[in-house]
Amino acid sequence: MSGFRRRRGSWSVYPEYRPKEPPPESGIKVGKKLGSTWWGRRWIEALEAFSSDFTSRLGRGKTYARAGRVHDLAVSPGAVTACVTGSRPSPYKVKIRIDELSSGAWSKAIAAMAQSAAFSARLLAGEMPEGVDEAFRGTGEALFPSASGDLASECSCPDWANPCKHVSALLYVLGEAFDRDPFLLFELRGRAKQSVLDALRSARSSSSETPRVPKRAPRRTAPPRTASVKLSDAAAYEKSASSPAALAEMRFRFDAPAAASGAVLRQLGPPPGWSKAPSLAERIAPALAKAAELARRLALANSGEAGEREPGGA
């Protein structure tokens, strides 16, 4: 009878301790700081609020997530699946389910988001604008889970707790995945990234079309009066025209870009064939940020504001 220790001719009720299997090379490791974006934090906060009765499982799940024990992650409409390597030779199979939003709710939410130019710009730049959940609440739905019943989980481990440490590990990994690509949350709720962006562009285009104004008959106007200058005023006029008052000094500002570093790269998505971690956007985002800052400093220097450079700049 494997898996149990024999003690003095009888079988112990305690399972035999087994060292954990090493994390696989394909494991997804999360960083020390979970939830680097507001939408990632919102997901983590919901997870921890729903699981307050099983804080020990959350702690062990976070350790599993940081060790890279979660692998083979797959996000599809309404479901997330993954494998978690633990103490057994074969990984545990974990599944999380969440209801997809209805087509009507998506249509209303996209129409609400399209009304705000700021919302549209942030989404098209690959970011999730704060307050986006208000657009969904107006439809009677919620983008983020708001109650424990919104998330259903399954795990092949024998732990009766919900969530167990394997489910918790997957939820933490999913939170960091949302940090990197907020459109995964849309995918989970039933709409692919390109579908949302296309619908958003279409709604913005329709709302920005200039309405056609019916033509009216031309109004008859009196002929324009010819301006005249008295001969006695000609000398004063000529003098003022030759030495006009000095224009007010014009100054320009070159602020740092407000968009997050690498936003455009995240919008374009990974290039074909790129599957390594970190992503291409993460690899070259620091170089892009330095190039943007150098361009701003050159602009400041050319505008005569070189003295405004930050201390220690290049």
What residue ranges do the domains of the chain occupy?
20-206
List the structure tokens of 247: 């224009």
Phi-psi group of 25: left, alpha or beta (phi > 0 → left; psi -120 to 50 → alpha; rest → beta): alpha
| Percent of the chain whose predicted confidence (pLDDT) is above 70 | 66
pLDDT of 312 reads 43
Distance CA 69, CA 64 (A): 5
Handedness of CA 103, 130, 260, 251 (dihedral sign): positive
Quickly state the pLDDT bin for 307 (edges 50, 70, 90).
very low
Hunting for tokens 């014009």 — which residue is that? 250
Of 91 and 236, the structure prediction assigns the larger pLDDT to: 91
Helix (H, G, I), strand (E, B) or coil at 28: coil
Enumerate the β-bridge partners of residue 4. Answer: 15
Sheet with 151-155: list strands edge to edge.
70-76, 79-84, 92-98, 151-155
Q: Say which residue the tokens 């939820």 belong to.
A: 171
**DSSP code of 131?**
T
Let me know: does 263 contact 129? Beta carbons within 8 Å. Answer: no
Residue 83 amino acid letter: C
Average pLDDT, the chain: 74
Q: pLDDT tens-digit profile of 94-125?
A: 999 999 999 999 999 988 888 888 888 888 88
One-letter amino acid for residue 162 of the chain: N
Q: Give, in order, the Cα–Cα distances in Å from 270 to each of 43, 281, 289.
A: 24, 8, 19
Is residue 90 classed exposed, middle or buried when 0-12, 13-18 and 19+ CB atoms within 10 A define those classes?
A: exposed
Separation CA 69–CA 168 (nearest Å):
12
For the chain, the straight-line distance linking the first and the last C-alpha, in angstroms and rounded, comes to: 69
Residue-wise pLDDT tens digits, 25-63: 888 888 877 778 888 888 888 888 876 666 778 889 999
In terms of C-beta density within 10 A (0-12 exposed, 13-18 middle, 19 or more buried), how is residue 237 classed?
exposed
Q: Does the pLDDT of residue 234 top 50, yes or no?
A: no
